Chains A and B, each alone.
Chain A
């Protein structure tokens, strides 16, 4: 691949980013390629040393905050025409509730996902409480001289402790999984926003 192809691919891959950002990056990579060629490498070798364009684009997207991409996306490309403004105002009763509904749906999905995690941890907490309760009542009944009840309370306590340890790892795994999934979704969303225009 030559320098021009490399920069063209990079440019189209970063289409959704603010123009100044893209230009700065293109200048940076262009300088890097030129400096390598000055060092004695051929154009193709210099570009090859920079690395795979797709990987570079992915890395840049992963590092760019989602808010920046969305802001660029909704920024009008050309000055807003008067009839668009009129339409926006007239359509307000229609699009505003829809927008609220969409935001509410996204928010509720988030809440549902996190409530699963919270409820799992709540189960964990209740087992811990059960363990402590079992231990205390075991000591209490032992002091009252009721050995059999004391022993059964100890058994309940141990059972709770065992379950708590078991469920702790399950909670940890689910929490990590959800965090990983959230990150993946964010990156996927960025690709979706940008990808549309490059195709």
Chain B
């Protein structure tokens, strides 16, 4: 898959994983597992990118005697998900057009 496209998709996937409630690294990976496998280093890069872009915030909370980082989606992150849904409609309609053209050939 095109690398830029994939990067954009993964960003939205991670945002979706923390949309309903704050989550932490391993939970995000587990939640995404049925849909796609994500390595730790890739997740780290995505989280860092989203944090820099202001789409999520990070807080450390104590869990079982150690610190765990929780990720919280911001308004800008929520907007990104909505934008993605809109973009996807466009992509689907382009896909329909491409498939139809191939059938006509």
Contacts and interface: CB of A to CB of B under 8 A. Distances in A.
Contact of B40 (A34, A38, A50): A50
Contacts of B27: 35
B22 to A, nearest CB: 15
A56 interface: yes
A34 B66 contact: yes
Interface in A99-125: none
Contacts of B24: 31, 35
Contact of A32 (B26, B64, B67): B26
Interface residues of B, number: 14
B44 A28 contact: yes
Contacts, number: 36
Interface in B55-105: 64, 66-69
A39 B68 CA distance: 15
Nearest to A36: B26
B26 A29 contact: no
B52 interface: no
- Best-buried of B27, B39, B41 by chain A (most CB within 10 Å): B41
Contacts of B41: 51, 56, 59-60
A63 interface: yes
A51 B39 contact: yes
B101 to A, nearest CB: 27
A63 B64 CA distance: 33
Interface in B18-32: 24-27
A25 interface: yes
Given A35-B25, A39-B26, A63-B45, A28 B40 contact: yes
Nearest to B30: A39
A28 B45 contact: no
A31 B25 contact: yes
Contacts of A50: 40
A59 to B, nearest CB: 5
Contacts of A60: 41
A32 B26 CA distance: 6
Contacts of B69: 27-28, 31
B40 A32 contact: yes
Contacts of A29: 40
Interface of A: 25, 27-29, 31-32, 34-36, 38-39, 50-51, 56, 59-60, 63
10 residue pairs, one from A and one from B, having the closest CB atoms? A35-B26, A59-B41, A56-B41, A32-B40, A28-B44, A50-B40, A32-B25, A32-B26, A31-B68, A63-B45
20 contacts: A27-B67, A28-B40, A28-B69, A31-B25, A31-B66, A31-B67, A31-B68, A31-B69, A34-B66, A35-B24, A35-B25, A35-B26, A36-B26, A38-B64, A39-B26, A51-B39, A51-B40, A51-B41, A56-B40, A56-B41
Interface of B: 24-27, 39-41, 44-45, 64, 66-69
